[in-house]
Amino acid sequence: MYDLILIRYGELVLKGGNRKQFTNTLKQNIIKQVGEVPIVAFDRMYLNYSEDNLRRLNYVFGISSFSPVKKVETNIEKIKEIVLQELDPNSKTFRLNCHRNWKKFEYNSEQIINIVASQILKNTNKKVDLFNYDEKINIEIRENYSYIFNKSYKGLDGLPVGISGKTLHLISGGIDSPVAAYELMKRGVHVDFLSFITPPHTDDKTIEKVNRIVQLLSNYQGGSKLFQINYTDLMNYIGFVSDQSYKINLMRRSFYRIADIIAKKGNYLAISNGENLGQVASQTMESIYVIGSQTSLPIYRPLLTFNKNDTIKIAQKIKTYEISIEKANEACEIFAPKRPVIKPTFIHAEKLENELSEIKELENQAIETKMTFSRFKNILQ
Ligand code: ATP
Ligand code: MG
């Protein structure tokens, strides 16, 4: 039976003050996720062993790998005894690995392996096989206590969420924007969400999808905020514009003017989205320029250059995919012009907005009176 979980993190990329901030944020995030305080040793953390803790560590960014371990006094007799005790009774072949982190220990790694291996060979019928082993036992020698383990799980890597500030993320019920949010979290960004809905064109199902997606993503960062704006009046208003091919473009410009106001009020350092270059008419270089000009904040687009297959793989892994592909009414299907402009110009978009003299007024009203706010907690069961 294991005593602890040993948590390893990306040491290589960290230097100086960054490292300290990294360790502190990671520690806080682990506390939030498992409800226990890990012990921090220079380049490791240790947590009490439980199946539940093991599972929860799969939701914490910044961990490179983790192993359930047996803790033993750093004493060669004790180490021999524990390794023998912990062997898998069903294995026929084994391999030992030793890492001597505490260089003052009286034996070096090779000697430790020889001593422990002879003990196993003497007391069991198992054989050494360095390549086709049934079981690999790792011994990590540290001052005072050493650690013995036979399993390692890959962590999420990246940086602990919160270390890089926060973004306001435009979320839809589609496949891309949830994956983009996940990618931002991976770089240590805390993500809050903004979603535009247009009932009755979008049904309750759309809202429910967004809620379920935000809930899933919240499990990776201890909670999120979701701002939801009823955009129906604005959408209808934009529908009056003289050049119908610009409708989607104008709507997206309006999204970013609204996002800009909310983000600045909430001290967000960026707006982000799931845009992917060239995917649809609204994501050509021209469209991205004309739309993105409506905020002075940087816009983060983690999926800009992704291939769809790679996005789908991530969506499947984080289980947002199955929600995203559920059928729901999307406003764009009704609102979208037959031939949306593919290469919009800035000047023409502005000219059309002059026809819509009340648009900014309506946008402010939408923020004041048509916005709902909800908080999502980590509810990992
Ligand atoms: P997604 O799968 O994320 O919907 P998509 O490939 O379908 O992306 P679009 O629908 O053109 O592309 O949207 C591009 C981006 O604009 C989305 O990734 C999302 O960030 C944002 N977006 C689109 N619709 C909405 C909406 N109703 N509310 C908030 N953001 C939206
Ligand atoms: Mg979409």
Ligand 2 center–CA 138 separation, angstroms: 48
- Return the residue matching tokens 């790998």: 65
**DSSP bridge partners of 303:** none
> Per DSSP, which regions of the chain are E strands?
4-9, 39-41, 44-48, 63-73, 93-100, 127-128, 135-141, 145-149, 153-154, 166-170, 190-197, 223-230, 270-272, 299-300, 371-377
Instruction: Please give the chain's pLDDT, 381 residues, in tens.
Output: 899 999 999 765 666 778 889 999 999 999 999 999 999 987 899 999 999 999 999 999 999 999 999 999 999 999 999 999 999 999 999 999 999 999 999 999 999 999 999 999 999 999 999 999 999 999 999 999 999 999 999 999 999 999 999 999 999 999 999 999 999 999 999 999 999 999 998 889 999 999 999 999 999 999 999 999 999 999 999 999 999 999 999 999 999 999 999 999 999 999 999 999 987 777 999 999 999 999 999 999 999 999 999 999 999 999 999 999 999 887 667 788 989 999 999 999 999 999 999 999 999 999 999 999 999 999 997
Q: Are 99 and 141 in contact (CB under 8 A)?
A: yes
The CB of 175 under 6 Å from ligand 1? The reply is: yes
Ligand 1 center–CA 260 separation, angstroms: 16
Residue 195, marked binder: yes
Q: Which residues lie closer than 8 Å to 318 by C-beta, 6 or more apart? A: 178, 179, 182, 216, 217
Residue type for position 231: Y
Residue of minimum CA distance from atom 8 in ligand 1 = 176
Ligand closest to the CA atom of residue 248: 1
How far apart are alpha carbons 39 and 185 in whole angstroms? 24
Ligand 1 center–CA 173 separation, angstroms: 8
Closest CA to 83 of 33, 140, 32, 35: 140
**DSSP bridge partners of 69:** 4
How far apart are alpha carbons 83 and 80 in whole angstroms? 5
The CB of 167 under 6 Å from ligand 1? The reply is: no
Model pLDDT, residue 18? 83
Model pLDDT, residue 11? 60
How far apart are alpha carbons 292 and 90 in whole angstroms? 61
Q: Are 147 and 70 in contact (CB under 8 A)?
A: yes
Burial class (CB in 10 A: 0-12, 13-18, 19+), 154: exposed
Residue 237: CB atoms within 10 A of its CB come to 15
235: which 2 tokens?
A: 């959408």
Ligand 1 center–CA 177 separation, angstroms: 6
Angle at which helices 346-355 and 285-292 cross, to 10°: 50
How far apart are alpha carbons 157 and 154 in whole angstroms? 8
Angle at which helices 204-218 and 176-186 cross, to 10°: 20
How far apart are alpha carbons 169 and 171 in whole angstroms? 6
For the chain, what's the residue count?
381
Q: Are 141 and 98 in contact (CB under 8 A)?
A: yes
Residue 196, marked binder: yes
How far apart are alpha carbons 43 and 33 in whole angstroms? 20
Which atom of ligand 1 approaches the CA of 194 most closely? 29
Residue 223, marked binder: no
Ligand closest to the CA atom of residue 170: 1
Ligand closest to the CA atom of residue 303: 1
The CB of 183 under 6 Å from ligand 1? The reply is: no
The CB of 177 under 6 Å from ligand 1? The reply is: yes
Strands 145-149 and 166-170: unpaired
Closest CA to 21 of 160, 157, 155, 156: 160
How far apart are alpha carbons 347 and 23 in whole angstroms? 49
Model pLDDT, residue 201? 87
Closest CA to 322 of 171, 245, 209, 198: 209
How far apart are alpha carbons 235 and 251 in whole angstroms? 7
Q: Are 244 and 337 in contact (CB under 8 A)?
A: yes
Residue type for position 84: L
Pocket test for ligand 1, best of 169, 171, 177 (most atoms within 8 A of CB): 177
- Return the residue matching tokens 């805390």: 190
